[in-house]
Amino acid sequence: MNLVQSKILNAIETNKLNPQILGERNWYSYFIRVKELVWSRNLRDGYLIEVYDEKHGNHLATITL
C-alpha cells in the first residue's frame, strides 16, 4: 500500500472523505473519481476510488472498498 492509498483510507475512516458522494471532484491536492460498484457487473458491492494528480493528471492509485 502506498502513501496515497493510506491517506484515502484514513480520510474515509475519519469521515473527511465520504465515498457515498459519487462523481468527480477535487480533494486537497488530488482529483478523485468515485464510482459505485454493483454486484451484477463487478461481482462485489462497494466503491471504486481513482486518485489522480491535480496538476498533471497522472494516475496515482485505485482503491476498491
What's the pLDDT band for 1 if we cut at 50, 70, 90? low
**Residue 11's closest CA among 37, 34, 44?**
34
Q: Taking the model in full, what pTM does it have?
A: 0.81
- Whether 4 shows a pLDDT value over 70: the answer reads yes
C-alpha separations of 17 from 6, 9, 34, 55 in Å: 13, 9, 11, 20
Question: Is the CB of residue 49 less than 8 Å from the CB of residue 23?
Answer: no
Task: Please work out, in degrees rounded to the nearest 5, the angle formed at the alpha carbon of residue 22 by the alpha carbons of 43 and 2.
Answer: 70
What's the pLDDT band for 42 if we cut at 50, 70, 90? low
Predicted confidence (pLDDT) per residue in 13-28, tens digit: 998 988 888 999 998 8
